[in-house]
Amino acid sequence: MSKIVKFKTVTEVAMAIQQELEKAEDAILLASQIYVSYIDDEKAKVRELKELLGFSYETYVSMERIGRGIMDQRLIFTETKARKKLAAAPKSQQKKALDKGLEVLVDNGEVLRVKIDDLTSNQIKQVFAGDHVRSIAEQKNYIRNRKAQMEFAAKLNIPKVEKEPEKILPIYEIKKGKLIINKPTELSRKEVFDILSKLV
């Protein structure tokens, strides 16, 4: 293990960390290129290689994408939702987003440039389509469609009308000299005579 150098200022520390991370990024790129070259040439030994390395399935997928030039090596460092979405975008968009941030359209029409790890959950939904970063025009359409969906959903949310409690009717009743039977029932001889006496 190499000796850690003592730094005088925070700026020096930040620069040193950045330099070491850049070395790590270059190392990941090279390792991924070696991995892809090997699995293309030695398909029969891929399983043995994976057993020796012992990485997770996700790491092998990322290494292959990096090695084939599909994914920026910096995206291997984290598993945030925004970075996962960015990993599905073209590599040119990945690089631009990681270097300069992402353009985000806000409610007042202003366009902000936001770092990938500072995006809110709503901004992530707005900025990323399935396979690319949305342009400002696409974001505008997304916001308009989202607003229309919310308005439509609000219209469907009709307040519930409380039903009147169901009236419990007697099995039978006599009105104006007529026998009204409200529900199927059986009557005894005594009940029939009682009803007849009321009808007379």
pLDDT tens digits for range 143-161: 999 888 888 878 777 565 5
pLDDT in tens, 26-41: 999 999 999 999 999 8
- Model pLDDT, residue 65: 92
Both structure tokens of 94? 């990945």
Q: Does residue 118 have a pLDDT over 80?
A: yes
Residue percentage of the chain with pLDDT more than 70: 88
**Distance between CA atoms of 129 and 8, rounded to whole angstroms?**
45
> Cα torsion at 59, 65, 67, 69 (round to 10°)?
-150
CB 111 within 8 A of CB 136: yes
What does each C-alpha distance from 135 to 104, 132, 141 come to in angstroms? 9, 9, 10
Q: Does residue 54 have a pLDDT over 60?
A: yes
- Model pLDDT, residue 165: 57
What is the chain's mean pLDDT, rounded?
A: 85
pLDDT band at 2 (very low <50, low <70, confident <90, very high): low
